[in-house]
Amino acid sequence: MKNKEQTASFPSALWHGKPYYSLDAYLKNTYGEKIYKVALNAGLTCPNRDGRLDTRGCIFCSKGGSGDFAAPLSSPEEFRAAFLSGRRRLAYKTAGAKFIAYFQAYTNTYGPVSYLEAIYRVALEDDSVAGISIATRPDCLPEEVLALLKKLKEDYPHKFIWLELGLQTIREQSAVFIRRGYSLSCFEAALDALHDLSLPVIVHLILGLPGETKADTLSAISYLNRLPVWGIKLQLLHILKDTDLAELYFENPQKICAFPDKEAYLDLLISCIEHLRPDMILHRVTGDAPKSLLIAPLWSGDKRGVLNALHRTMKEQGTFQGRLYNEERMVYHAGPTDTL
């Protein structure tokens, strides 16, 4: 237990009793109800897959392109049918509910602008959709796509448009290891452009990349704290079947899997949350790997158990998001040498 003043100082009502500002809490505060996500595969690809940059994908990326829950599509009509069917699948427990259309699989701004416009509008025009969330890469946001996003924001002022950028790491060696394929300056330029359009950005960060220390991860948190980042997904590194990372794992499991047990992961995760800017929305604190693909760490398959352990441990420690935010001891040590 740290001390009572610190324990009492997080906004329990705003955060709905959790020791951090979760997406669920934000949505309940904003809409007065739970909002459900429909994960979508819009049939797009990725420059790390189609040969523009590489054909192998990021080292951890499964064949479904980080969206193993959805089926591939190829036209706005098929997209509409899949969206409606995804929504119907949730409907039995969510009568009258609102949804987020989550463009999840592959790179969802990488395609003909006319196609992108058609699929985004399918979702935005649906009365039950509160907004859309578009997962993409910072090197796939050309002027035409930014202009489209600006127009959609004007056309649908009562709906939100979020962008999700898979940064994963700020350490140059790690970016090369995972074959990310763009520089940190590219990420910063994309973030600035989206910020200029007042589009909220969610950044994905992977915890447990081989060779990364706790100091490396906290440097990434410190770096993101200083940027116009609205939300963050903290994602445990999963080793999935049919990935290059899985081959490396079988050669040397200890080197590739940083968290053979849950406790070590919780220790790092709690440090990240303690150092995180208190107003940043935490969209994810672990991961949702399909059980059929997950090789390691297997304990992460019990997502409910991980979340319960996180909440229990943070409560026992009397800690919460941002408790150490004002400690400016962390030094951001990526920089101009970052070139890929």
Closest CA to 206 of 192, 189, 220: 220
Give the nearer residue to ligand SF4 in terms of CB position, either 137 or 283.
137
Closest CA to 186 of 61, 53, 67: 53
Residues contacting residue 322 through CB under 8 Å, at least 6 positions apart: 10, 274, 275, 276, 277, 278
Query: Which of the residues 43 through 62 are near ligand SF4 (CB under 6 A)?
Result: 46, 48-49, 57-58, 61
Under rule CB under 6 A, how many of the chain's residues touch ligand SF4? 12
Q: How many residues does the chain have?
A: 340
CA 11 – CA 156 distance, rounded (Å): 32
Query: Which of the residues 164 through 183 are near ligand SF4 (CB under 6 A)?
Result: 166
CA 321 – CA 270 distance, rounded (Å): 8
Give the nearer residue to ligand SF4 in terms of CB position, either 57 or 231.
57
122 to 151: interface string for ligand SF4, x by CB under 6 A: ---------------x--------------
User: Residue 287 interacts with ligand SF4 (CB under 6 A)?
Assistant: no
Least distance to ligand SF4, CB of residue 119, Å? 17
Query: Which of the residues 62 through 91 are near ligand SF4 (CB under 6 A)?
Result: 65-66
135 alpha-carbon distance from chain centroid: 8
- DSSP letter assigned to residue 275: H
Beta bridge partners of 135: 164
Q: Tokens for 249, please give them.
A: 């794992």
Least distance to ligand SF4, CB of residue 61, Å? 3
Give the nearer residue to ligand SF4 in terms of CB position, either 35 or 53.
53
Which one of 7-15, 20-28, 41-49, 182-190 is the stretch in contact with ligand SF4 (CB under 6 A)? 41-49
Q: Is 203 exposed, middle or buried (0-12, 13-18, 19+ CB in 10 A)?
A: buried
Give the nearer residue to ligand SF4 in terms of CB position, either 22 or 174.
174
Give the nearer residue to ligand SF4 in terms of CB position, either 137 or 275.
137
CA 117 – CA 109 distance, rounded (Å): 10
Which one of 42-50, 116-124, 232-240, 304-312 is the stretch in contact with ligand SF4 (CB under 6 A)? 42-50
State the Cα angle at 106 between 225 and 180, rounded to 5°: 55
Among 21, 103, 106, 177, binds ligand SF4 (CB under 6 A): 106
- List interacting residues with ligand SF4 (CB under 6 A): 46, 48-49, 57-58, 61, 65-66, 106-107, 137, 166
